Chains A and B, each alone.
Chain A
Amino acid sequence: MSTFIQRYTRRERINHWVVAIAFVLAALSGLALFHPAFFFLVHLFGGGPWTRILHPFIGVVLFLFFIVMAALFWRFNHITAADRQWMKRIGDVMRNRDQGLPELGKYNAGQKYLFWILVVSVPVLLISGIVIWQPWFAPYFPVWLLRVAVVIHALAAWIMILGIVVHVYALFWVRGTMRAMTRGTVSEAWAKHHHRAWYRQMTGK
């Protein structure tokens, strides 16, 4: 029997998945209004007006749960010397040549950079989104600010979507990762291989 290490608590998993579901809904409804090629996505939300109505509320849910999640994970995401070493060998990581990589804590540099991208982009999306939120808030802002906010909102969303594409792919690519968020645990072998410093800390080995 392989043994497992607790990686995420129940609370963290619920929190993560609320953010994840909100993200998927916000991204689909946002893309629908972003380019005509994606406009068909409005049908998932009950048509154009409903997409416009729901999108900002989904975004607020995302934000509220995200700040709790960010607070929980904050202390694990400081970039260290080992992370810089690891980033220098990102080519090897990509080719699955993992021998001799530095020992990492709970997260690797890729995960940490994603964390910081989200910590910046989610509040930017919230603020720029409130500025263009029809009909509740947009009428209180000057038109020039709406113009700026639309561009910033699209740019931040784009960066966030790209980050999440990488995030989702990485969990598919790196086998044994998914169960960390679905069951809360990872195998000892997985922890030892990918996050040895964290493994030592958790097991005392």
Chain B
Amino acid sequence: MALQSLDIKARSATTTPAPGARGTIPVAKLIDISKCIGCKACQVACMEWNDLRDEVGTNAGTYDNPRDLTDQSWTVMRFSEVEVQQGKLEWLIRKDGCMHCADPGCLKACPSPGAIVQYANGIVDFHEEHCIGCGYCLTGCPFNIPRISKKDSKAYKCTLCSDRVAVGMEPACVKTCPTGAIVFGSKVDMIHHAEGRIADLKERGYSNAGLYDPQGVGGTHVMYVLQHADQPELYANLPKDPTISPLVGLWTGIAKPLMSLGIGLAVFAGFFHFVTAGPKEVEEEETD
């Protein structure tokens, strides 16, 4: 979503500072998995606010519906049945979607200037009118979130309702959540709120309860309270220590500038060779 923005922290494929005169405090969405009942109201609210309608899928024998994120489904509930302790079945329901990394791999990998921006408040947003459909954001993302539309070949994902947040409202999923499992506010407040929830969970026997705010990507602006923070993989393969693939860093951080320089140097080397050594001419062209 494009609004007149003076609060951009980072902009894809841009080597000069982004317009950042306006400062805002970092925000965060906190998803307390221990409070989630899997009602999917957040999915509906997301569709409704963003005017999205996914295709009606088929039942695959689980509660997951739709089965995966798409260009029309920016958030999905992922249901996992696990036995952390023998004989004690737990139904872990994770609302999946963009984590809004402080160090966004999608933005780093994107070759199109301004197609991905990160606002001062931490929201990572796709500006689809600048998207060229190359799919590099997919390679940058450690959470497997962006989806390329089959209709228009643009990448889509959760915006954290950047349009709502920009005018002081909370994201649609937060507003609709009937159990208060999703809350929204400044990141500092959300961490504080999570501490209370974690203390409560620990009291109730979840000794490994904790906050999921992975530092490998600089922390995230969507955080989870997990009953089993020591095993995030239990929650539909939430990565334990997500990082941007070193291949993406190698390519964007080192290869791009050095290789560009190398090509430029090769051209200059040719020019200077010519003006020093001169052309290689064959004498007596006309004799045998």
Interface residues of chain A, those whose CB is within 8 Å of chain B, are: 1-2, 33-39, 42, 48-49, 51-52, 94-96, 98, 132, 134-135, 138-139, 143-144, 146-148, 150-151, 154-155, 158, 161-162, 165-166, 169, 172-176, 187-190, 192-194, 205
Contacts and interface: CB of A to CB of B under 8 A. Distances in A.
B256 A35 contact: yes
Chain A: interface secondary structure?
helix
A147 B246 CA distance: 9
Contact of B150 (A94, A135, A176, A194): A135
B60 interface: no
B252 to A, nearest CB: 9
B135 A158 contact: no
Given A39-B13, A143-B144, A155-B255, A134 B270 contact: no
B55 interface: no
A172 B263 contact: no
A151 B250 contact: yes
Interface of B: 13-15, 111-113, 130-136, 138-139, 144, 148, 150, 153, 245, 247-248, 250-251, 255-257, 259-260, 262-263, 266-267, 270, 273-274, 277-288
Nearest to B251: A151
Contacts of B14: 36
A189 B286 contact: yes
Nearest to A93: B280
Contacts of A166: 266, 270
A2 B285 contact: yes
13 contacts: A34-B256, A49-B133, A96-B280, A134-B134, A134-B153, A135-B135, A135-B148, A154-B255, A165-B267, A188-B288, A189-B284, A189-B285, A205-B288
Given A94-B277, A169-B270, A172-B274, A150 B247 contact: yes
Contacts of A36: 13-15, 111, 113
